[in-house]
Amino acid sequence: MTPVDRAPDAADRVTEVLARGELVVHGRLADASNAVLYATATLGDRRVRCVYKPVAGERPLWDFPDGTLARREVAAYEVCRALGWQLVPPTVLRDGPYGEGMCQLWIGPGPHVPDTDPDTDASDTDASNADTSAADGRETRDVRDTDEEPGGPETEGPETDEDGHGVGELLALVDAESPEPGWRAVVRAQVDDGRTALLVHADDERLRRLAALDAVINNADRKGGHLLPLPDGRLYGIDHGVTFHTEDKLRTLLWGWAGEPMPEPVLAALRGLLAELADGRPLLVRLRELLSEGECQALRARTATLLRTGRYPRPGGEWPAIPWPIL
């Protein structure tokens, strides 16, 4: 099995399965604000575990148009690929059991689906054991994280081990006035019993790239739980539904480099992206299928501004800069 970012065509193979494979839903992830369904997509002898978020299961937001979150997630993947980075799992827009939605490669150990075979459609299982409903009202089961994988054909995707690495290697709350070497201060946060602690994140090259990506796509919700580090050193960011707004909405935990110069490799990636956002280029053609014209123009303007300043942005002041809850 080849991880998705170890061979030039690996991501394309995964997106083909995600886009064209038979999509079977096994359950709904508990505690998600929108409908987030655990599924598998199978094409011939290839199978991938995935997350399926149907548009019909999106809750309305006051500041984003209804029914657009799935397309924004796909746009985030397209922009990340154009930057030359593998920070967003392969993501496609497709039809599924509950209508059009975003389908994204599952990262990490698979969840446990109680009392059902992984190859059984959750909508066909006994409804008396289900406690959540899918987008169109059909019953699905809650699923929770475990290391279980679906049986059947070979499952493609990132390799993981049981030990895994957690968000704790990237984010921490520390009882100190300043961060230790290798960490960056973000903000003082209130914790239990009225105490305060210093929120810090790792001074990590992967996070530097992710912070730049968030600035480009105007990510309004970079929580700690949206960071998925793997034992082999790879890092993925997920949940990019509230992105690409025309107004400044950047809300993130990765403010440790605010106002500082971006590394040259990051600036080189931004120069390449700006070239691909020119009229007539395939990337812009694709993004116009996913975003409004105003959002595409704002994306191009943000990228140009980052290149002009050469620095990570600072909090704007008109929008809460830190997401809550932090994780």
Same domain? 14 vs 151 = yes
What domain range includes position 81?
10-156
- For residue 169, is pLDDT > 80? yes
Same domain? 146 vs 85 = yes
The number of residues in the chain equals 327
Same domain? 107 vs 51 = yes
Tens of pLDDT along 101-137? Answer: 999 999 988 776 654 443 333 333 222 222 333 444 4
pLDDT, average across residues 143-159: 49
Same domain? 145 vs 87 = yes
Q: What CATH number is associated with residue 91?
A: 3.30.200
Tens of pLDDT along 199-209? Answer: 999 999 999 99
Q: Within a domain: residue 327?
A: no
Q: Which of 156, 171, 186 is the last residue of a domain?
A: 156
Q: Within a domain: residue 316?
A: no
Same domain? 48 vs 106 = yes
Same domain? 27 vs 148 = yes
Q: What is the pTM of this model?
A: 0.85
Which residue stretches of 37-117 are H helix?
69-82
On the 0-12 / 13-18 / 19+ scale of CB atoms within 10 A, 122 is buried
153 token code pair: 């054909």
Q: How confident is the model at residue 80 (pLDDT cuts 50, 70, 90)?
A: very high
Residue of 77, 141, 136 whose CA lies nearest to 112: 141
Same domain? 35 vs 114 = yes
Q: Within a domain: residue 320?
A: no
Domain count, the chain: 2
Compute CA distances 10 → 5, 6, 20, 54, 104, whole Å. 7, 7, 16, 25, 14
Same domain? 152 vs 216 = no
Same domain? 24 vs 152 = yes
Which of 127-131, 192-196, 299-303 tops mean pLDDT? 299-303
- For residue 231, is pLDDT > 50? yes
Q: Within a domain: residue 1?
A: no
